[in-house]
Amino acid sequence: MSPEAESKETQSSVFQIFKTFLKLGCTSFGGPIAHLGYFRKELVENQKWVTEGQYSQLLAICQFLPGPASSQVGFSLGLIRGSWLGALAAFTAFTLPSAILLVLFASILPMLEGPYAQAIIHGLKIVAFAVVADAVFSMFGKLCTDIVRRGIAVFVAGALILAGTATLQLLLVAFGALAGIAFCRSAPSDSIEQLPIKHSLKSGYIFLACFTGLLLILPILGSGEPTLISIADSFYRAGALVFGGGHVVLPLLEDAVVTNGWLAQDEFLAGYGASQAIPGPMFAFAAYLGGLIPIGQNALLGALIALLFIFLPGFLLVAGVLPVWKTISGNKTAANAVAGINAAVVGLLAAALYDPILTSAIIGYTDLAIGAVGFLMLRWWGLSPLVVVAWCTLSNLLIAIF
């Protein structure tokens, strides 16, 4: 292939990545666990960017790392599909809709208190139930193929349902790895489908060094006053030190912007309320906060700095770890560990399907019926998640009206 043809192919690939993630960014309701279900449906089943085994490896890696797990998975998928431009396209397209909506949403938040608006929002929660149920059903069948792996998945799900914390999630993924090494003897080393990561191990170490360097240097350059450097420092630390993503980052953000006196408590809570009703990553909440922090400059600049720096540490980490993982994933011990981790990841998703998704989305038999039909649309009829979004929201709205 000539350089010109290769360049055109890369541009086409990046455009396709942007278009795909823009659709996901506009339709992926339900929080980070639901996002993983949307990604799997679109990029593993429909477009086949990666295999089920490769996708489960990405899930396991991003579960171990601090930062927004679903956005890290999306970034990694873009990286695999279209190199660095693909990773940037995936992040931009997936995050931009929610970032724009959050800034606009806060101004119309009082209008969303009526019963019809609440019915639509609740319908979107039912969508998340259908999508994650489909992901759990599929992954259990493909990744939990024997009694040992099924046992790991059931144990992890039960432990999280009884006492779920972000720390426990990390411990249970580690437990899955150890249980896989000890008991998953049937996993041959050649069963590991290596992730097609093209950047070198040396590049990975550079990314990890950048992650650590920024964590140490930004606090020295920042100050207690709201400046662009201070915003970068506060949001970078929030993104670098949070495990579990999503809602777990909120206490760190509140400490960064409310305790510091940059924003009032009611301003913070208004943006948090708005972020519950939009698609895309919860970390996009940073754009709302950055736009309101009084820095004496263009508010959009503050929003952009906050948004970029809350995501940056997670992306540096996953970019650094991926080539390290590629070098160790082919041996027998790694194969057994991955088999156990895959089962643990299925358990994580199953626990999240119950709490918070089922507990907040299914509050009656009507909700259960709507969600079950949505599940069948995905599982048996092979319809697009967009159809499920329309079905769940319109059904719930019509019930509220009549």
Residue 330 lies in a domain: no
Please name the residue ranges forming H helices in 65-146: 69-108, 115-143
The domain in which residue 281 lies consists of 201-317
For residues 241 and 220, the model is more confident at: 220
Of 366, 316, 322, 343, the closest CA to residue 58 belongs to 322
Residue 111, pLDDT score:
61
Sign of CA dihedral 152, 154, 157, 160: negative
Q: What six digits make up the tokens of 284?
A: 């996009």
Between CA 187 and CA 210 the distance in angstroms is 36
pLDDT band for 105, please (50, 70, 90 cuts).
Answer: low
Check: CB of residue 278 under 8 Å from CB of residue 98.
Answer: yes
Count of domains forming the chain: 1
Residue 285 lies in a domain: yes
pLDDT at 13 over 60: yes
**One-letter amino acid identity for 139?**
M
**Average pLDDT of the segment spanning 300-312:** 92
Residue 286 lies in a domain: yes
Between CA 223 and CA 234 the distance in angstroms is 10
CA 322 to chain centre: 17
When mean pLDDT is compared across 72-86, 124-138, 179-193, 385-399, the lowest value belongs to: 179-193
pLDDT band for 248, please (50, 70, 90 cuts).
Answer: low
According to the per-residue pLDDT averaged within each range, which of 28-37, 176-185, 260-269 is highest?
Answer: 176-185
CA atoms within 13 A on the CB side of 169: 25
- In the chain, the percentage of residues whose pLDDT exceeds 70 is 88
pTM reported for the whole predicted model: 0.77
Residue 289 lies in a domain: yes
Residues 6+ apart with CB under 8 A from 399: 119, 366
CA atoms within 13 A on the CB side of 316: 20
Residue 279 lies in a domain: yes
Of 316, 267, 312, the closest CA to residue 290 belongs to 267
Residue 220 lies in a domain: yes
- Mean pLDDT estimate for the chain: 84
**Average pLDDT of the segment spanning 363-385:** 90
Residue 298 lies in a domain: yes
pLDDT band for 323, please (50, 70, 90 cuts).
Answer: very high
pLDDT in tens, 167-219: 687 788 889 989 999 998 765 544 567 889 989 999 999 999 999 999 999 99
pLDDT in tens, 149-159: 999 999 999 99
Longest distance between any two alpha carbons in the chain, whole Å: 62
According to the per-residue pLDDT averaged within each range, which of 88-97, 123-132, 158-167, 325-334 is highest?
Answer: 88-97
